[in-house]
Chains A and B, each alone.
Chain A
Amino acid sequence: MISESSSFIKGVVLGGVFCMLVTLLGHIKVGHGTKAHHHEHHHIQAPNKEDVLNLSEDERVELSKSIHVYCIILVKPKDLGHWAAARETWSKHCDKAEFYSSENVKVFDSVAVNTNDMWMMMRKAYKIAYERYKDEFSWFFLAYPTTFAIIENLKYFLLKKDPSQPFYIGHTVKSGDLEYVDGEGGIVLSIESLRRLSRVLEDPDKCPEHGGMIWKLAEDKQLAICLKYTGVFAENAEDSEGKDVFNTKSVGALIKEAMSTHPQQVVDGCCSDMAITFSGLAPNHMHVMMYGVYRLRPYGHSYSDALVFLPPPGSDND
């Protein structure tokens, strides 16, 4: 009897110690993991409201006019519906927007790059854009057909960033050692990054036209590799609360996720108030976004924004 009870007690003690060890290890492991992850990620934030409001009236007006964004939208004939929607909606708010299509299409004006391969399309588009517009624009925004962008929020985000520095901004993803901007969320390059890119595109060793030996790498990864050679690194864009401003999903998809992860705080937890892009949108959704973003609003709220953007001429859906 005594031996049984003593072995029982030994068992209890052993079990308790084992449990505590497991719990402690579990906690330490989790903590360590996130810290390491956080360190290697490059984050870039929107300007602080206070920073911006300290500017004088004249400085603000000058600033609003000084940020020039050139939009590149890569399209193919199969994307005609999205193409039309982008033309009629958000792209009107770019200082200049051009559609780079795989082939010439009669219905819409475009710059034909005469290739179906996404990486080739991207290379050619960036090359052409740099050659033609390097003196006119300081920022270059590249989008896919299903992306919807709010250029005003992009300009606000870029407000205090110097375009002569190599910026490569968007929604970043880590793939092994490579951190790249996910094309779905839109890619922002400063003129300096574009300058460096146009040089390295000529280098077939560092930046080959047909990258990858066994299988093809996605074009947004290829871009990151080429830029890395020139010393340009991807940075993830966030607002002052740490929320992503470039989104690779639609508002609906993000709301659905928020409804399952934190159902009590769906709108608070979902998306940034100054989001720049959403993606995966159908053409009709772009029209709804246009209305929801630029027009539908509750009466009686006014904002002291540092910048002023006027509606583009000849448009009735914004």
Chain B
Amino acid sequence: MLLLGLQSSWLPFYGGIVVGFITTFLLLHVLLLPQPVPVPSWDPRVGTAPPGTPSSPALYSLAPSDTAGEDAGVARGLFQRVRVLCWVMTAPQNLEPKARHVRDTWARHCNVALFVSSEPAPHFPAVGLGVPEGRAQLYWKTIRALQYVQRHHRHSADWFLKADDDTFVVLDNLRWLLAAHSPQRPLYFGKRFRPFARQGYMSGGAGYVLSRAALARVATALTRGTCGHSGPEEDVALGQCLERLGVAVGDSRDTWGRETFHPFPPEIHLTHHFARDFWYQRYCWYPVVEGPRCCSDLAVSFHYVSGEEMYTLEYLSQRLRPYGYSPRYQPALRPPVSPNTPRTPVSLNATETPVSPNATWTPVSPRATRSHPGPHAPKPPNPSRTPPALKAAPDLGGSYSGVHAGEGTPPQPQMS
């Protein structure tokens, strides 16, 4: 009887222990013990959209602020005077692996940052263009992106930068470069390549930036079909279109003649020796420089940058510095120079004047936008409109590792 009694009560006893333990555990950890505060996915310093802007999934940044021992006054002035909208081309499957690292690093320095994908992703935030992904659709996607930016954001900024989700950009340096130019002029900057267009075209991956006037022209033309809606490579096709519309190419080199937009990561430009017959030498508008002089101190962009390297470059450029070091290159802020417009002071809050289709314009020669003439005269355009067959894999040599050439193909002039 006793045994039976014990047997019948051990089950509820041990069951009770388990229940009691679990209940107390839940009570303690859920209700009583402090929970870690969930970190917001966006930087709390990110500002809110200015009043009157349409509801578009964009990120608005705050001007750079002073910290202890650091005076960001000049950078802040440039942030307010040279407003840049960044639109980053990405895809749904790349949001977390790639675009997220852009969003959490350099995109925070844009006045406005837009992530452009084929499908909308409001939590990211990313805009959906409704264009399918894939190399064949790249030009279509770029056209749609340009039209979207023109439609929703033409008043948000003075300059419009296109970048990929593996491009790293230093916005303060872009503003320095653009400060000398008027956004009312149809102008664009980037890494200048020679073939396929008389004035050259800008490499897509290294990023290119259009003035407000240039954006208006190209968006209008694309809507009207002036430029055609398909092309073999997005950057070549766009370059040809811009040339047809009279948008001039700017010289993006610094005052010591060093490049600022770069189609490869820093390690390649600084340490690699390109093979003689590598396409890059033929494509560059300006002479290729290897070693330390490849790149300006005030570099604007690098391409084929992995997610981890985004943070590394952000840390190296924005945070880590040699205390007390006085750099060799300390250029002055270049005041705006516009030889083709009347000598009235540039109003900082000038209202945009619409480009009328009958307005006369004169193509600005590249020399006028630079402080000293370039070493090369533009060569006659390549008679064939399609790019030559490129080698299957560029022989970059043993010292080079870690290129992600998009879908596994070697770096080519079209963007990944």
Residues of A within 8 A of B (CB): 3-5, 7-20, 23, 49, 53, 64, 93, 150, 152-153, 155-156, 251-252, 255-256, 258-259, 264-267, 270-275, 284-285, 287-311, 316-318
Contact = CB atoms under 8 A, between A and B. Distances in A.
A291 B313 CA distance: 11
Contacts of A301: 64, 70-72, 74-75, 172
Interface in B283-300: 291-293, 295, 297-299
Contacts of B71: 301-304
Given A14-B17, A15-B22, A296-B266, 13 more contacts: A12-B16, A19-B21, A20-B28, A49-B69, A153-B322, A287-B270, A291-B292, A292-B313, A295-B295, A297-B298, A299-B78, A299-B172, A305-B323
B324 A305 contact: yes
B392 interface: no
Contacts of A266: 104, 311
Given A264-B41, A302-B71, A311-B326, A15 B318 contact: no
Nearest to A292: B316
A150 B322 contact: yes
A49 B68 contact: yes
Contact of B16 (A10, A93, A298, A300): A10
B17 A18 contact: yes
A267 B105 contact: yes
Contact of B15 (A11, A23, A150, A270): A11
A292 B321 CA distance: 9
B318 A298 contact: yes
A308 to B, nearest CB: 5
A295 B104 CA distance: 23
B320 A275 contact: yes
B326 A299 contact: no
B74 A294 contact: no
B327 A293 contact: no
Contacts of B293: 316
Contacts of B14: 11
Contacts of A255: 308, 311-312, 315
B68 to A, nearest CB: 6
Contact of A251 (B19, B307, B312): B312
Nearest to A152: B322
B176 A300 contact: yes
A47 to B, nearest CB: 10
B173 A298 contact: yes
A16 B27 CA distance: 10
Contact of B311 (A155, A267, A305, A310): A267
A298 B266 CA distance: 16
A184 B15 CA distance: 56
B323 A153 contact: yes
Nearest to A252: B312
B191 to A, nearest CB: 17
Interface of B: 5, 8-10, 12-25, 28, 33, 39-41, 64, 68-78, 104-105, 109, 170-173, 175-176, 266-267, 270-271, 291-293, 295, 297-299, 307-309, 311-329, 333, 399
B299 A296 contact: yes
B326 A270 contact: no
19 contacts: A3-B8, A7-B10, A8-B12, A11-B15, A13-B16, A15-B19, A18-B17, A18-B20, A19-B20, A251-B320, A256-B308, A259-B307, A266-B311, A267-B315, A292-B320, A296-B316, A298-B172, A305-B324, A309-B324
Contacts of A252: 308-309, 312
Contacts of A270: 311, 315
Given A14-B17, A258-B311, A293 B75 contact: no
Contacts of B105: 267
Nearest to B328: A311
A300 B74 contact: yes
B81 to A, nearest CB: 11
A16 B326 contact: no
Contacts of A271: 315, 319-320
B267 A284 contact: yes
Nearest to B76: A300
Nearest to A278: B320
Contacts of A258: 311
A12 B17 contact: yes
A299 to B, nearest CB: 4
Given A291-B270, A303-B70, A152 B298 contact: no
Nearest to B9: A7
A292 B266 contact: yes
A285 B298 CA distance: 20
A267 B9 CA distance: 59
Contacts of B76: 300
Contacts of A299: 74-75, 78, 172-173, 175-176, 298, 333
A262 to B, nearest CB: 8
B9, B13, B309, B324, most chain A CB atoms within 10 A: B324
B292 A12 contact: no
B71 to A, nearest CB: 5
A264 to B, nearest CB: 4
B16 A292 contact: no
Nearest to A5: B12
Contacts of B320: 150, 251, 271-275, 292-293
Contact of A64 (B75, B324, B328): B324
A100 B74 CA distance: 46
Contact of A16 (B13, B20, B75, B104): B20
B20 A251 contact: no
A294 B74 CA distance: 20
Contacts of B64: 300-301
A271 to B, nearest CB: 6
Nearest to A317: B292
Given A19-B25, A307-B323, A309-B324, A300 B77 contact: yes
Nearest to B72: A301
A14 B12 CA distance: 12
